[in-house]
Chain A
Amino acid sequence: MNAIETLGDRTLYYVNQIGRMGIFLALVCVSVVKPPYYKISYVTRQIYLIGALSIFVIAFTGVFTGMVLGLQGYTTLRKFGSEGFLGSAVALSLIRELGPVLTALMVTGRAGSAICAEIGIMRNSEQIDALECMAIDPHKYIMAPRYIAAIVSMPLLTAVFDVVGIFGGYLIGVVLLGANEGAYFQSMYQNVEYADISMGFIKSLCFGLLVVWICTAKGYFVHLERKGGFGAEGVSRATTNAVVLASVAVLVFDYILTSLLL
């Protein structure tokens, strides 16, 4: 009997959580679109925190991802005598898959965790209640700028990742291993199509929304966490959950989006 009760309890909890996160997303989306608008300086600040500060991490991961693709791609393609395709292999893997996914994962780790913890602490120290009592809508005031910033930043970071990665692949494949430079870029220009770029772009937009949604919602509802959400421990637990959930969701959605867009 106890096991059944636990099962029911958990099911209710998760159904409840999905419901409230969905409503939360809807409310934020409405407040993004509906006037009165939040000040542009709030958005700037969030783009700074989410985008500008992430750029070095992204460039660093990007260049190494590109380098390893160059190395792996070159040794594999050489077996078939088609080193000429190295450029398109590197560019396509980066643009279609690795760029959006790895950028989303890095942003989750760098900015998503910070967003979740910050909002969680605001909730626990009654700052969110205070906003509501001042008749300031927290969806508009706290969430909307973060959502806009994430959706603006993610495609740009992904583009940086792709370009830096292509350069990294060039560095290893052409400069170090001696693949043909002309072939590297020519095969890239010829085989990368608009559909590939738009696929990467759409993915990065979706991931941006997904990451910011999960991280803000987990922080916002920290007091409703199942194992108790108060105090420093509650916030740390919510942050861990948010990062894990966001990372898994990015990978799952990557599959879904790929199958839809192909």
Chain B
Amino acid sequence: MTMDPLIQLIDVRKRFGTQEVLKGVNLAIYAGKTTVIVGESGKGKSLILKHILGLVRPDGGTVLVFGKDINAIGRKELKEIRSYFGVLFQNAALFDSMNVFDNVALPLRERTKRSEADIKKIVGETLALMDMTDSDEKYPAQLSGGMRKRVGLARALVLNPKVVFFDEPTTGLDVAKSNEIYRVFYRTQAKLGYTAVIVSHDVPKIFKLADYVALLHDGVVQDCLTPEDFQTSTNDIIRDFVEKTMGHIYDSEQMEATP
């Protein structure tokens, strides 16, 4: 890997009270690639995203985004960096008081000086890309979980970001709904060519769309490998994770499989 990473975390540490959640995370994210962070739930995967987004300040270590330390720059510069970001939050984080159209239009209205007609066109196109054409007037409370996430993704993509972060995009969705999300993801990435960072534990399906897989275990990123290398890694912890998540469910199957 000769090219410089787009985003780099160096020895990032974070503790809450007495609990040390991140114990020196090192991770590099490359332009145009899809990096997936896997690991057990509630162990700080989303926290890594929040560090990259500058929402959380690390106790130690540095977060470099586009080569700049995100915690050392001013508000103005941070704002500029964030304008290249799109984020799909875990529960989509749609604004309850606005309908679908206004939710998606918000970044355009607040961040650009486009005319209302332009906005209407862009929002319509983006929502069409999400297969969400007839829901403009609905409020988030009236949508299903999958639909909310697609609206959330539409909102994240409407300003054509360079990097898109997905926080557990399929958690809480059934297989059909999560396949829909993946379909939309493929479609939009092919069209817009953004760099993706996905936090997920939808193993093994997530391996199909990943260029790199990183395992967060015990507050440390064990390794960041291609999916193929990841599944055949000799690292004990990774092997253990792969076995746990991709292994057989029934003991009997396992018995049959072992000679």
| Chain A residues at the B interface, C-beta cutoff of 8 Å | 121-122, 125-127, 129-130, 132-137, 141
Contact = CB atoms under 8 A, between A and B. Distances in A.
Contacts of A130: 87, 89, 93, 155
Contacts of B85: 133
B205 interface: no
Interface stretch (B25-33, B103-111, B124-132, B220-228): B103-111
B106 A136 contact: yes
B93 A134 contact: no
Contacts, number: 49
B95 interface: yes
A129 B110 contact: no
Contacts of B94: 127
A127 B96 CA distance: 9
B55 interface: yes
A134 B106 contact: yes
Nearest to B84: A135
B135 interface: no
Interface of B: 50, 53, 55, 79-80, 82-83, 85-87, 89-91, 93-96, 106-107, 110-111, 155, 159
A129 B159 CA distance: 17
A133 B82 contact: yes
Which 8 A-B residue pairings sit nearest by Cβ, starting from the closest? A130-B93, A126-B93, A135-B82, A133-B87, A126-B89, A135-B79, A135-B83, A134-B107
A133 to B, nearest CB: 4
A127 B55 CA distance: 12
A127 B103 CA distance: 11
A125 B91 contact: yes
Contacts of B87: 129-130, 133
B82 A134 contact: yes
A133 B87 CA distance: 7
A8 to B, nearest CB: 14
Which interface residue of B90, B93, B96, B155 has the most chain A CB atoms within 10 A?
A: B93
B87 to A, nearest CB: 4
19 contacts: A125-B91, A126-B93, A127-B95, A129-B53, A129-B55, A129-B87, A129-B89, A130-B89, A130-B155, A133-B53, A133-B82, A133-B87, A134-B107, A134-B110, A134-B155, A135-B83, A135-B111, A136-B107, A137-B79
Contacts of B96: 121, 127
B82 A126 contact: no
A121 B106 CA distance: 19
A81 B248 CA distance: 96
A127 B155 CA distance: 12
Nearest to B110: A136
Given A134-B82, A134-B106, A136-B106, A129 B111 contact: no
Nearest to A128: B93
Nearest to A27: B75
A125 B110 contact: no
Contacts of A125: 91, 93
A42 to B, nearest CB: 11
Given A121-B96, A136-B107, A136-B111, 13 more contacts: A126-B91, A127-B96, A129-B50, A129-B53, A133-B53, A133-B55, A133-B85, A134-B106, A134-B107, A134-B110, A134-B159, A135-B79, A136-B110
